[in-house]
Amino acid sequence: MLLALRTGAVAAGLLLVIACGRNPEPPASPTSAATTTAQQQPVQESPLAAMLAESLGDWRRNGIPRTWSAAALSEYLGPDAERWRSYQLLDSVVGSYDRRDGSIALVELYRFRAPSDAFGAYSTRRGLYARVVPVGNEAFATTHSLLAWKGQTVLRIVGTSPDARALEDLGRIVAAALGEGTSKPAELAFLSGLQVVPGTEVWTHEDALGYAMFRRSAMARIRSGDAVIEVLRHPGRSERDAQTLFEEFRTSMTRSAKTIDPVLGVGNEAFFAQDTHMSNTLAFRAGFDVVVLRGQAPPEAFIRLAEAIAARLRATTPRSTVPASAVSAP
């Protein structure tokens, strides 16, 4: 909600500036040593600047696009800049456009070190957007905004137009100039074949399920029968790391759960817990990975889904799973 308010406030102010015929200027921010240093450093031209041409279809650019280095992005986005930087942001380019019918739009391009980082930044923000649209690798839109991911870049457009598809068309033109698309991060490959709720796949560098220990995790919501279960997979660097993390999470659940019991036959070790709000959690460790399932489905649904995920981990990440012979029937 805070992110939505922040985005809405920035967009409203910038659209007002665009409507008045001026180039967007950064919102005021408190001065600090870090900000002062960033301001003093010359901003190098980003390769993204070439994507914001003077004409994009029937859209015309107002002025010269502004380039922001990762270090200076706080001058433009305020506190939200730190979230973008946490995904290895390289730089950002912002330009304003209009059409003869009165349409106006602010186009933002964010360039990241790797496609997986770009997907992570995109996937943790798309909850604000409602409608799937065919732009880039993947995109979501509302009446006045569009968020898209393609390769190493995230595209965000905020605007208004009498044409309901105008922003989508603009986004498609920009995305076409971004080069070849890429697949989602390999950490999400284990979801193949499962009934993933569309638009819920996430690769996050931030706290997940309320735990800092689960930063850099893959997440999704999975249908299991009539229920929907939230799934998190944290890929570790070694079996020892996974075991330490699993024990830390089990200790945390022991303090808060109403009941907690071991589960046999899933991964190296597993437990099932129920909290005072009747929410269920099943966690298991499989080699390098720790997997957590959470929701209000019955225990049988959790176990079936956990077994399916463990099998997919064996198939997609052999280094991080136990051999099938070590898994006994539940």
Element (H, E) at 41: none
Check pLDDT > 50 for residue 192: yes
Please give the biggest Cα pair distance in the chain.
69
Q: Say yes or no: 171 and 202 in one domain.
A: no
Tell me the one-letter amino acid at 204: T
Last residue of a domain, one of 157, 176, 195: 176
Tens digits of residue pLDDT in 29-52: 322 323 333 343 445 678 999 999
Mean pLDDT of 57-86: 96
**pLDDT, averaged across the chain:** 85
Distance CA 140, CA 182 (A): 17
- 232 and 172 within one domain: no
Q: Could you read off the pLDDT of 234-246 as tens digits, one per residue? A: 999 999 999 999 9
Q: What value does the mean pLDDT take over residues 111-133?
A: 91
Name the residue among 110, 123, 28, 106 with its Cα closest to residue 69. Answer: 110
pLDDT at 286: 94
Cα separation, 230 vs 200, whole angstroms: 9
Q: Do 205 and 147 lie in a common domain?
A: no
Reply yes or no on whether the pLDDT at 320 is more than 50.
Answer: no
Q: For 281-294, what is each residue's pLDDT tens digit? A: 999 999 999 999 99
Number of domains in the chain: 2
Of 296, 280, 283, nearest to 249 by C-alpha is 283
Identify the CATH number of the domain in which residue 306 sits.
3.40.1000.20
195/291 same-domain check = yes
Q: Are 66 and 93 in contact (CB under 8 A)?
A: yes
Does 36 reside within a domain?
no
Domain C-terminal end among 153, 176, 199: 176
For residues 203 and 158, membership in a common domain is answered with no
Cross-strand partners of 69: 91
Question: Is 181 domain-assigned?
Answer: no
**Structural domain boundaries, residue 221:** 186-326
Tell me what pLDDT residue 319 has.
55
Claim to verify: residue 60 and residue 15 sit in the same structural domain: yes
Which residues, including other chains, have CB under 8 Å from residue 191's CB and lie 6 or more apart? Answer: 201, 218, 220, 222, 231, 312
Same domain, residue pair 109 and 249: no
Query: What pLDDT digit, counting tens, does each position of 98-109 carry?
Result: 999 999 999 999
What's the pLDDT score for residue 225?
82
pLDDT at 312 over 80: yes
Q: Are residues 193 and 322 in the same domain?
A: yes
Q: What is the pLDDT of residue 305?
A: 95
Which is it for the CA torsion 46, 48, 53, 59, positive or negative? negative
pLDDT exceeds cutoff 90 at 205: yes
Task: Tell me: do 139 and 240 sit in the same domain.
Answer: no
Q: Which of 152, 176, 200 corresponds to the end of one domain?
A: 176
Same domain, 312 and 234: yes
**Residue 129 domain flag:** yes
Mean pLDDT of 189-206: 94
pLDDT band at 127 (very low <50, low <70, confident <90, very high): confident
The predicted pLDDT at position 43 comes to 54
Place 263 in a pLDDT band, splitting at 50, 70 and 90: very high
- Mean per-residue pLDDT for 123-128? 86
Q: Token pair of 104, please?
A: 């106006």
Determine, yes or no, domain membership for 123.
yes
303 within some domain: yes
> Within a domain: residue 302?
yes
Same domain (yes/no): 270, 222: yes
Is residue 37 domain-resident? no
Higher per-residue confidence, 188 vs 275? 188
**82 confidence band (pLDDT: 50, 70, 90):** very high
Percent of the chain with pLDDT over 90: 71
What are 9's two structure tokens? 């406030």
Rounded average pLDDT over 302-314: 93
Say if 226 falls within a structural domain.
yes
CB 282 within 8 Å of CB 301: no
State whether 19 and 110 are in the same domain: yes
Residue in 92, 94, 90 with CA at minimum distance from that of residue 114:
90
Task: Express each pLDDT in 15-33 by its tens digit.
Answer: 444 444 434 433 333 223 2
Give the rounded percent of residues in the chain with a pLDDT score beyond 70: 82
